[in-house]
Chain A
Amino acid sequence: MRLPLRTGLVAALAVVVFTAGATGVAASAATAPVSGGPTGSGVCATQAVSVRTGATVATIRAFADCEIARRQTTLESLSRVVAASAALTSSDAAALAAKIGADRSGLAALKATIGRPARPASLRVQVVQIVSGFRIYVLLGPQVRLTVAADGVVALKPHFDGISATLTDRIAGAAANGKDVGAAQADLDAMNAAVANAVALAGPLPARLLALTPAAFNSGTAQATLKSARTAILKARDLLKAAAKDGRSVLADLK
Chain B
Amino acid sequence: MKRNQARTIACLAAALLVCLAVAGCGRHGSTPQPTAPQPSYSAAAGGPSGANESGSSEATGSAPAASSTPATAPSAPPTPDPVASELDQINQLINDINNSVGSSDSSQQGGE
Contact = CB atoms under 8 A, between A and B. Distances in A.
A241 interface: yes
From B93, B97, B108, residue with most partner A Cβ within 10 Å? B97
18 contacts: A8-B12, A16-B22, A33-B106, A35-B109, A37-B107, A87-B97, A138-B108, A141-B111, A142-B104, A145-B101, A149-B104, A155-B41, A155-B44, A159-B90, A162-B86, A226-B104, A236-B97, A240-B97
Interface in B54-96: 81-84, 86-87, 89-91, 93-94, 96
Contacts of B18: 9
B90 A36 contact: no
Contacts of A87: 41, 93, 96-97
B8 A152 contact: no
B48 A163 contact: yes
Contact of B47 (A158, A237, A248): A158
Interface of B: 4, 7-8, 11-12, 15-16, 18-19, 22-23, 26, 30, 40-42, 44-45, 47-50, 81-84, 86-87, 89-91, 93-94, 96-98, 100-101, 103-112
B59 to A, nearest CB: 12
Chain B at the A interface: SS class = helix
B19 A86 contact: no
Contacts of B86: 159, 162-163
Q: Which of B42, B94, B103, B110 has the most CB of A within 10 A?
A: B94
A61 interface: no
A5 interface: yes
Contacts of B48: 162-163, 165-166
A109 interface: no
A247 B82 CA distance: 12
A153 B106 contact: no
Given A145-B104, A160-B90, A41 B84 contact: no
B112 A131 contact: yes
B100 A149 contact: yes
A226 B107 CA distance: 13
B83 A163 contact: yes
Nearest to B22: A16
Given A19-B23, A146-B101, A247 B87 contact: yes
Contacts of A160: 90
Contact of B104 (A20, A135, A230): A230
Given A35-B111, A230-B105, A251-B81, A237 B87 contact: no
B101 to A, nearest CB: 5
Contact of B83 (A5, A35, A166): A166
